[in-house]
Structure 1
Amino acid sequence: MELQTPLTPRTQRTLRKLQSAHNLGAATKITSSSSTLLTQQKLRDSHSRDISPTRRQALNRSPRRHRANSDASGNANLPNLRTASSTTSLHAKRVALSRTPSAADALSLDRLIREGPPGDDVSSALATMRFKVLGQGIKSDIDGMSSSRIYIWLILLDAPVLSTDEYLKLVHRGASPAYAKIRNDTFRTLTTDPLFRRRVSEASLIRLLNAVAWMLHDGKEERRPSSSRQSLPASNSTSPSRGEVSQAFTSSPGARTRARALTLTTEGSDSNTSEPGTYVQGMNVLAAPFLYAARSEAEAFVAFHQLLTKECPGYIRGAMVGVHRGLRLVDKVLGIVDTKLSLYLTSKGLSAEIYAFPSVLTLCACTPPLPEVLRLWDFLFAYGPHLNILCIVAQLIMMRNELLGSLSPNKLLRSFPTLHADQIKAHALAIIKMIPNDVYEEIVNHAL
């Protein structure tokens, strides 16, 4: 039997280029020779690892991505933790700083993921995982990279298992109705962050956002009455659909001058406020940390889609109603915990609508450095993304002296200081004790 020549890095780059988002809008097909090479690569990857189909599906690895090659052994128990995470969610409760000890306490986070909950006690294992994330954090290097972070996120987000092939089907459908708007945003995503630019390509970000846009579009089509549905081809067209209505969000001059490497408008969102849109500007920044932390695009896709549809659907619904509710809550919480600072900012005409829009929409991902964003997200996913409202207020309190001492605090608020996740978490936990239950309930539900 003739042996196949191993693929060279150049060949692999060629395959990735052929599958890149830059070909989503093209009418040409991938040549048969390229398809053959791709098939050979997938078969060789399948035979080279002694992994069962069930476990391979649970790991959600893409064989084309170099950063998806490492094998997180023993993660067959991952779906078991995911299945029950929604039933024990703490999103409707305050952060629990004390709890009943369990057998899972003796295991590290890595062992807990690899071996599963001791005695099949999923509820206690999830509580232990959250507590360890809060107290110890997730081990990572100086660049924020961790071999277990994406799996912990998937569990905490209660993300379903998705095979890589299902993600590739969405990619191969071509350009979504939101493709042109996606391409207009992706090139300016975290442009000043060298870690992100070195690790994540624009093509990867385009593929992810386009696949999510297809999923959201399909969900909208399924909810529509059959008589009003319009068939859209799995098209090569890069133009938005005719029925897609653009609504421009008129921001204040202060908000427009804030350079955050994203456009803060609701252009491209749907006029029906009860339905989620397929893409809103700013989703590119919200997707960036998932691609940075994940080992494959498929993992990043399922985590990002779960966040949008289950945790923060209000952020992409209509005119971003959830984001605007969050902004009002930033003002309300600041007025409760620091009345003096709140009144001073109000006297200068500064409301959260002006300075906090990107921080609410992106869960603070718009503020560098990226490794600190990942550590902050560990906390948010453990106890609920709604806590981002308190994290924004915490950042304002950390800037308190500078803001009160400035005659033009709007200049300071155009760009928040670099993130310090541990300090922000400490302030957020203190704020929780200061706000009444009814306000906390509003915070919990604002993004739904």
Structure 2
Amino acid sequence: MFSYSPYSEIKELSQSELRKQYDDLLEYGASHPEELEQNLAKLRDLITCYGLPSESEDDEYNVDEQATLRGKIWQLFLGLKQIYAEEYLSLVKLGPSSAHSIISLDATRTFPKEKTFRKRVTLEKLIRVLNAFQHKVEDRESLGYIQGLNCLVAPFLYNMPEIEAFYTFYHFIVDRCPRYCGNQMGALDGDSLVQQILKLVDPKLFSYLEKNSVQLCVFSHPALQSILTNTPPLEEVLKLWDWLFMYGVHMAVIFLVCILLVRREEILVAENPNSRYFQYHNKFSLDAELITNLAIQVVAQIPSDLYKLCAIHPLVPLNGNREGHDFTQSKGLKLVVKGTPD
């Protein structure tokens, strides 16, 4: 089993050398589908150690023609095998959905300060994909459009052509985090898990916040509702999302705990660290490498039972029936850290 530590020695690679390693893995995987799991494991190791290379000019300007490297890798981890152009076009032809008004309003609020995003993803495209999604899930009450889904579809449109983005987004929601849609009970359970894990890994910080009557959900809930897309900059968010596809959406909970740990000293010396502090004092800028390195250390401290609850909460209530749910993909990072199965 691959063993990774943020402090281990890793061979330096240039951006072009790193890009070639990814291209070779993707090419090999396409010609050897029977070795999918082994290939995904190699991709997982490479991303964990190096991250993805900087985008090439082709990625920057031709996203309407082909997915970026990141988009291709997300699709692989999600297991997306087929898209249905005719179905998507038929959904688009249905026109405005029952959620069109709120979709149109939300679309204007999607990453307004991210110039590269605005250049690559038009409002019309956002609105079209979200209306099509609402039409497709219209008869599934638990999956209907809710405010904030605009920010969840945005990373897909930023990294792949429209039809691919639609189906990748759809399967991401349906297969990986259905409880983060509809009534958003997954985010509520995530709030509870953030508190439990923080209390475990940093009891001093947790006690300090509790003593000052800080409601951590004021900080955690918006971040979980948006699956971290509310914390700029977008490029760093996308690096964290790579880990959501590799190890599971539950990593958003772990990352939020890590953000609190990074802000620890700032919080402890704050004059008034109450709930409003987290709501309005939001000058924090993500550093994905720092957060992921810290996440590995945090995961190592979480008992297996709690980690398992965390891993499956996007799919199953914390107190629900968990039989029949595959934990294999979600426990991947736990195995990387501990080197032994649960």
Same fold, TM exceeding 0.5?
yes
Whether contact under 8 Å (1:327, 1:356) holds in the other structure is yes
Aligned position for 1:344:
208
* Equivalent in the alignment of 1:447: 314
Give the TM-score of the pair, scaled to structure 1. 0.61
Letter in 2 for 1:286: L
Residue 96 (structure 1) shift: 6.0
After TM superposition, the structure 1 = structure 2 runs for residues 242-257 of structure 1, keeping only pairs within 5 Å, are none
Matches within 5 A, 1:211-226: 211-218=132-139, 220=140
| Alignment partners' CA distance in 2, 1:142 and 1:418 | 24
Q: Hey, what does 2:228 align to over in structure 1?
A: 364
Q: Are 1:160 and 1:302, in contact at CA under 8 Å, matched by a contact in 2?
A: no
Question: Which of the residues 273, 278, 298 maps onto 1:413?
Answer: 278
1:168-317 correspondence runs (5 A) = 168-218=89-139, 220=140, 275-294=141-160, 296-317=161-182
1:394-413 Cα offsets, whole Å, 9 max, x none, are 01000000000102224552
**Which residue identity does 2:171 align to in structure 1?**
Q
**Matched-pair contact (CA < 8 Å) for 2:142–2:181:** yes
Unaligned 5+ runs, structure 2: 5-19, 61-66, 316-342
The answer (yes or no) to whether the contact 1:311–1:447 under 8 Å persists in 2 is yes
> How big is each residue's C-alpha offset from its partner over 1:257-305, in whole Å with a ceiling of 9 and x where there is no partner?
xxxxxxxxxxxxxxxxxx51311111111111111122x1111111111
Shift of 1:321: 0.8
Pick the structure with greater CA Rg.
1
In 2, distance between residues paired with 1:129 and 1:116?
10
Q: Once superposed, what is the RMSD of the aligned Cα atoms? A: 2.3
User: What is the TM-score of this pair, normalised by structure 2?
Assistant: 0.79
Indicate the residue corresponding to 1:380 in structure 2.
Answer: 244
Q: Which residue of 2 aligns with 1:231?
A: none
Show the counterpart of 1:129. 43
Q: Which runs of 5+ in 1 are unaligned?
A: 1-94, 99-106, 221-274
Residue in 2 aligned with 1:9? none
What displacement does 1:418 show? 0.9
* AA in 1 matched with 2:249: P
User: Of 113, 120, 129, which aligns to 2:26?
Assistant: 113
Q: Matched residue of 1:433: which SS?
A: helix
Cα deviations by residue, 1:183-216 (Å, 9 ceiling, x for unpaired): 2211111112222222211111111111111111
2:29–2:35: 8 Å Cα contact kept in structure 1?
no
Compute the displacement of 1:115 (Å).
3.1
Distance 2:244 2:200 in 1: 22
Map Cα deviations across residues 59-94 of structure 1 (whole Å, 9 max, x no partner).
xxxxxxxxxxxxxxxxxxxxxxxxxxxxxxxxxxxx
Mapped to 2, the partners of 1:395 and 1:128 lie a distance apart of 28
The answer to whether the 8 A contact 1:367-1:416 is kept is no
Confirm whether residue 402 of structure 1 aligns to residue 266 of structure 2. yes
What is the CA-CA distance between 1:157 and the residue it aligns to? 1.2
Residue 434 of structure 1 corresponds to 301
State the secondary structure of the residue aligned to 1:217.
Answer: coil
Are the counterparts in 1 of residues 255 and 292 from structure 2 also a CA contact under 8 Å?
yes
Residue 11 (structure 2) pairs with residue 97 (structure 1): no
Structure 2: how far apart are the matches of 1:164 and 1:195? 27
Query: How far is 1:142 from its partner?
Result: 9.0
Question: Residue 313 of structure 1 aligns to which amino acid in structure 2?
Answer: P
Q: Quote how far apart the aligned CAs of 1:117 are.
A: 6.1
Question: Deviation at 1:434?
Answer: 0.5
* Equivalent residue letter for 2:41: A
8 Å CA contact retained: 1:170, 1:211? yes
Question: What is the match of residue 54 of structure 2?
Answer: 140
1:107-126 CA distance string (max 9 Å, x none)? 82212212326753222111
1:167/1:298 contact within 8 Å kept: yes
Out of 113-122 and 355-364, give the one that drifted further: 113-122
Contact 2:143 2:178 in 1 (8 A): no
Query: Sequence identity of aligned pairs in percent?
Result: 34
Distance (Å, rounded) in 2 between the aligned partners of 1:290 and 1:409: 36
SS at match of 2:163: helix
Q: Partner residue of 1:248?
A: none
